[in-house]
Structure 1
Amino acid sequence: MAGFLTTHVLDTARGIPAAGLRIDLFRIDGDDRIHVTTLTTNDDGRTDRQILPATDFSIGVFELVFHAGDYLDATGAAAETPRFLDVIPIRFGMSQQSHYHVPLLLSPFGYSTYRGS
């Protein structure tokens, strides 16, 4: 099986998928942080394509950067200056040719993630 990477973002404060949330993917190579792609979540809180498809997949360390502050501002969530959660980086390793699913459960004052399926 070829490896690939996906995500899903749920707005747990509102109980809905987080549509319109920008996500950047970076590959980490030592001290270098190399931008791979930028995608935006659709109405289901998923990206329209795999973040890292099988044709581009490689084992290594990666970072998903979720632009939560922009999303929360767009939803009308009560704003703070500075916002408690703005940019959420999640750094993780992919060690095998497999499906990696890294979801984000988001609210204005907390988040969680896990390796999904």
Structure 2
Amino acid sequence: MGKLSTHVLDITRGKPGAGVAVELYRCEGQGRTLVREAVTNSDGRCDAPLLQGDEMQAGQYELVFAAGDYFAGQGVTLPEPRFIDRVIIAFGIADPAQNYHVPLVVSPWAYSTYRGS
């Protein structure tokens, strides 16, 4: 079986985004169910995969990153309301036997992601 992982890179400082709260939701129909909560470590990664083994199932998911809270905690002056606050990445897992790595590259003004392995 595959696994799902993530990491956060703060491109404002050029360093891992340590201490970012992350939520993982499984989306079904019009609803979504919280599957996992984590906080990134000093390397900007979660200590364990967000999904693995039997938890790794095909379907639609959302990763929600508390980027605005992270930047506020770093002492970055942010407008109110924040331009980038909660970053939501909606993605699908088609083959649960593969590894899915969904990173977040973020600043207070922009973000990007891609599918890694």
TM-score by length of 2: 0.96
How far 1:56 sits from its partner (Å)?
1.2
Q: Distance in 1 between matches of 2:52 and 2:92?
A: 16
Q: What is the letter of the counterpart of residue 116 of structure 1?
A: G
Deviations 1:26-64 (CA, angstroms, capped at 9, x unpaired): 000111111101000000000000011223111100000
Give the alignment of 1:10-89 within 5 angstroms: 10-89=9-88
Aligned to 1:49, the other structure's residue is in SS state: coil
The residue that corresponds to 1:101 in the other structure is: 101
Deviations 1:66-103 (CA, angstroms, capped at 9, x unpaired): 01011011001112100100001000000002100000
The residue that corresponds to 2:116 in the other structure is: 116
Q: Distance in 2 between matches of 1:29 and 1:55?
A: 18
* Structure 1, gaps ≥5 residues long: none
Q: What is the letter of the counterpart of residue 56 of structure 2?
A: F
* Structure 2, gaps ≥5 residues long: none
Once superposed, what is the RMSD of the aligned Cα atoms? 0.7
Aligned to 1:45, the other structure's residue is in SS state: coil
> Does the 8 Å contact 2:78/2:108 carry over to 1?
no
Aligned residues with identical type, % of pairs: 47
Aligned to 1:79, the other structure's residue is in SS state: coil
Aligned length: 116
